[in-house]
């Protein structure tokens, strides 16, 4: 099913029992975020929320609209997300026609493909321009823009479809870049250094030219998703939306800038960026679960606000996973797998665990045929687009289910050889990665869990086995006073793993603890120890893994000792060579939590 606009999608959500209408008065300052965070962490992602009575605005707020596997499928018009990559594979695998009959058979598919490009409408009254605000009437205050977290620098537009063109006007870019509100006519434009928007911006800055920008808030679901997708450079995101919808995305000309926007969008912001202007943006509670650091970013000057007569403001929050963005990311994982296979055809499947927040961990199964192929695959992935940001890659054989984390974990603990199976590299990292000593780059880890073949290091080596002697975490805590908690993982595996919550107060304390533990004969049965910060709840393995992947710089934090491994993922200090600012974890204020507790039952009354 395709949806002409967000309104039809809302109707479908309600019909399917996937939407909760909240009539109770709520504040866009922190309250909506706290309510949404609680709902999004319910089983399966909770429900979509439509706040109909938002303080300071007449516009309702839609949030968590894509925050479940079911709603993501509905948004993209499929019963199963795998239907889309199957369609993509059909086009990728079209053999060149050799006979007239083959050409005739190919024609319907080519005609269908021809419908995908966006279509410019010649109308002066599209839905997105039913109301037009110009000059002194421009005021972002009419939109119920959220402040998501207590230490955010202010209100942020978090689900904007940002549209611009290359300096020569030949390439359109559509992306999602958060926008901090400065005043009623200006915002920041936070495009990361590696993204196409930033690339275009630098083109304009080199030529000292003004850059026109338009922003759609709340378009049809396929366009909303496509703006988040990591499309190859030069490929129009509205083309992907058309492919998903099986119909072109209708566009219209803006009122004050030479750009086209989705005709059926709820709200449009038009304006420009002067490349000579920069302003401090942030901090912001980001999808890593930490506050991203502040920095200088371009300023977006608004020259027009247009919208429907009764617009809905679509937004989202990000923070400690799982959140709505996990389901958008999962769709990207599945949809782009066929395109990945065109460059690396040996790949069978892949999985990005929610705890890895997209770039921190990827598990890949592949058809192994020759020695060291796993390392070649890892290196190739680290050289491909946004896969270059991935910090940890785990490779497994084709018959391993990459989505079964218990199976992968047991395989790792039973089979990994620290001498032959760990591959350390270095390269670019996402700007939000805080673990590495330097910003934007650091070490990476490849873990090869495939069966070794002749000619490969480790071939013919006996499978690892160990004696599982009894171990009491209490005994470890008696010896080491700085430990707040200790837990041995209950996994039926060859290697025993212990988690430690360490009250770290001085540089190198994690590394020193690992050394002391391994040198103590009474703890010889502990073969892998993971040292985390003292406040981490060790009973929650999902939280443990989220902290592990976020805080890890592999080359710095792996410490080997006579065939045993200690991993120190505690906060690092400048005395340890750390040169970034270690960010704070996102947590809502106790005051807002209390406010929401008091009104919780009233929020969901029929």
- Whether 423 and 445 have beta carbons less than 8 Å apart is answered as yes
Nearest Cα neighbor of 417 from 556, 568, 564 is 564
Q: In angstroms, rounded to a whole number, what is the distance separating the alpha carbons of residues 568 and 120?
A: 55
Structure tokens, 205:
């800055």
Nearest Cα neighbor of 326 from 228, 461, 189, 237 is 228
Q: Is 337 exposed, middle or buried (0-12, 13-18, 19+ CB in 10 A)?
A: middle
Q: In angstroms, rounded to a whole number, what is the distance separating the alpha carbons of residues 130 and 216?
A: 14
Nearest Cα neighbor of 84 from 446, 333, 457 is 333
Q: In angstroms, rounded to a whole number, what is the distance separating the alpha carbons of residues 66 and 68?
A: 6
Beta-strand relationship, 119-120 and 250-253? parallel
Sorted by sequence, the CB contacts under 8 Å of residue 96 that are 6+ apart come out as: none
Q: In angstroms, rounded to a whole number, what is the distance separating the alpha carbons of residues 556 and 579?
A: 13
Dihedral sign of CA atoms 280, 284, 287, 289 in order: positive
What is the secondary structure of 200-246 as a DSSP string? Answer: HHHHHHHHT--EEEEEEES--HHHHHHHHS-PPTT--HHHHHHHHHT
- Whether 252 and 261 have beta carbons less than 8 Å apart is answered as yes
Between the alpha carbon of residue 287 and those of residues 34, 205, 322, 580, the distances in Å are 15, 29, 9, 19
- Whether 534 and 504 have beta carbons less than 8 Å apart is answered as yes
Beta-strand relationship, 497-502 and 528-533? parallel
Structure tokens, 530:
């993971």
Helix (H, G, I), strand (E, B) or coil at 30: coil
Beta-strand relationship, 267-281 and 295-307? antiparallel
Residue in this structure with the two tokens 């026109």, named with its chain if needed: 212
Q: In angstroms, rounded to a whole number, what is the distance separating the alpha carbons of residues 190 and 193?
A: 9
List the end-to-end C-alpha distance of the chain, in Å, as a whole number. Answer: 29
Sorted by sequence, the CB contacts under 8 Å of residue 59 that are 6+ apart come out as: 142, 143, 144, 311, 312, 313
Sorted by sequence, the CB contacts under 8 Å of residue 273 that are 6+ apart come out as: 189, 201, 204, 210, 211, 213, 298, 299, 300, 301
Q: Is 575 exposed, middle or buried (0-12, 13-18, 19+ CB in 10 A)?
A: exposed
Q: In angstroms, rounded to a whole number, what is the distance separating the alpha carbons of residues 425 and 443?
A: 6
Q: Mutual orientation of helices 324-335 and 83-92 as an angle, nearest 10°?
A: 30
Tell me the catalytic residues.
Answer: 286
């Amino acid at each position: 099913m395709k949806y002409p606009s967000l309104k039809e999608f809302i109707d479908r959500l309600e019909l399917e029992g996937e939407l909760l209408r909240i009539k109770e008065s709520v504040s866009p300052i922190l309250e909506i975020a706290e309510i949404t965070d609680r709902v999004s962490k319910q089983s399966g992602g909770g429900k979509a929320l439509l706040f109909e009575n938002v303080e300071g605005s007449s516009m309702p707020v839609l949030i968590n609209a894509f925050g479940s596997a079911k709603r993501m499928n509905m948004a993209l018009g499929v019963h199963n997300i795998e239907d889309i990559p199957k369609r993509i594979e059909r086009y990728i695998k079209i053999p060149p026609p050799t006979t007239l009959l083959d050409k005739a058979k190919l024609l319907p598919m080519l005609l269908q493909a021809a419908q995908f490009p966006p279509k410019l409408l010649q109308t002066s009254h599209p839905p997105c321009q039913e109301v037009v605000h110009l000059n002194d009437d421009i005021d972002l205050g009419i939109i119920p823009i959220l402040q998501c977290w207590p230490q955010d620098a202010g209100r942020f537009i978090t689900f904007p479809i940002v549209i611009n063109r290359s300096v020569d006007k030949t390439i359109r870019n559509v992306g999602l870049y958060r926008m901090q509100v400065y005043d009623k006519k200006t915002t920041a434009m936070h495009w990361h250094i590696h993204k196409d928007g930033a690339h275009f911006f630098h083109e304009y800055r080199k030529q000292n030219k003004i850059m026109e920008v338009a922003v759609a808030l709340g378009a049809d679901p396929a366009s909303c998703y496509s703006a988040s997708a990591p499309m190859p450079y030069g490929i129009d995101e509205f083309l992907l939306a058309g492919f998903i919808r099986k119909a072109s995305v209708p566009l219209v000309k803006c009122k004050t800038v030479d750009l086209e926007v989705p005709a059926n969008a709820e709200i449009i912001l038009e304006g420009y960026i002067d490349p000579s202007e920069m302003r401090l943006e942030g901090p912001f509670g980001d999808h890593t679960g930490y506050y991203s650091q502040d920095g200088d970013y371009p300023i977006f000057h608004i020259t027009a606000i247009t919208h429907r007569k009764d617009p809905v403001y679509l937004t989202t929050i990000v923070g400690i996973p799982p959140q709505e963005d996990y389901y958008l990311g999962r769709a990207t994982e599945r949809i782009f797998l066929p395109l990945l296979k065109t460059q690396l055809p040996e790949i069978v499947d892949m999985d990005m665990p929610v705890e890895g927040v997209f770039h921190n961990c990827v598990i890949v199964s592949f058809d192994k045929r020759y020695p060291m192929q796993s390392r070649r695959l890892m290196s190739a992935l680290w050289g491909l687009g946004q896969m270059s940001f991935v910090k940890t890659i785990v490779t497994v054989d084709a018959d391993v289910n990459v989505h079964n984390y218990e199976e992968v974990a047991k395989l790792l603990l039973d089979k990994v050889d620290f001498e032959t199976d760990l591959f350390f590299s270095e390269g670019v990292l996402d700007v939000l990665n805080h673990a590495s000593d330097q910003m934007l780059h650091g070490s990476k880890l490849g873990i090869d869990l495939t069966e070794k073949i002749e000619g490969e290091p480790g071939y013919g080596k006996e499978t690892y086995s160990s004696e599982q002697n009894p171990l009491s975490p209490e005994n470890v805590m008696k010896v080491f006073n700085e430990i707040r908690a200790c837990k041995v993982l209950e996994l039926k595996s060859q290697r025993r793993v212990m988690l430690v919550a360490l009250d770290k107060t001085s540089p190198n304390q994690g590394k020193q603890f690992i050394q002391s533990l391994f040198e103590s004969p009474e703890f010889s049965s502990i073969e892998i120890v993971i040292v985390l910060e003292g406040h981490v709840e060790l009973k929650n393995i999902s939280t443990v893994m989220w902290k592990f992947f976020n805080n890890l710089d592999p080359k710095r934090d792996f410490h080997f000792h006579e065939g045993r491994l200690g991993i120190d993922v505690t906060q690092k200090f400048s005395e340890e060579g750390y040169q970034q600012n270690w960010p704070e974890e996102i947590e809502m204020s106790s005051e807002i939590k209390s406010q929401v507790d008091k009104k919780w039952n009233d929020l969901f009354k029929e």
